[in-house]
Amino acid sequence: MPRLRSILSLILILVATLLVSCSSPQATIPTTYTPEKIAQLQVLVEPVEEVRERMSELRDLIANRKWVDAGSLIHGPFGHLRQDMLNLSRSLLPKDREQATKLAKELFVHFERIDAAAKARNSEIAETQYREALRDFDAFLDLIPKAG
């Protein structure tokens, strides 16, 4: 009988060890933004919103056919926008991340086309690309949750 208890105890220990070693906690992907995450996103969105506010400057430069100044604005003050938007995209939840990254990339295609139109002094293409850039920019910002 004592020998049977020892064998039974050994089997229980092995089974318990096996069960514990085979199980692992499952990481869950968050489906909503926490207040802390929203606060973090608000810090990241500030430089992006500042550039959005300056988009009217680009519109005016295109309308007044100030091509050199339009190119300077795109390459100068708007120069860090790509990095800021992609960093912000990476901080979003998976359900929003893909769309935000796509919109950011499309925005920069429009900026590149505006720059090319400015070099070619083509106001029609520049104005069309500006409107599309504005649409993509606003769609990107709409993906960012607002505080409060």
- Looking at residue 7, what is its pLDDT? 72
> Quick one: CA dihedral 32, 36, 39, 44, positive or negative?
negative
Domain boundaries, the chain: 34-142
pLDDT digits 0-9 by tens, 10-44: 676 766 666 666 666 665 666 788 889 989 999 99
CATH of 34-142, one of 3.40.50.2000, 1.20.120.290, 3.10.20.30, 1.10.10.1150: 1.20.120.290
pLDDT digits 0-9 by tens, 114-145: 999 999 999 999 999 999 999 999 999 999 99
In degrees, rounded to 5, the angle at the alpha carbon of residue 96 between the alpha carbons of residues 51 and 145 is 60
- pLDDT, the chain, mean: 87
| Burial label, 26 (beta-carbon count in 10 A; 0-12, 13-18, 19+) | exposed
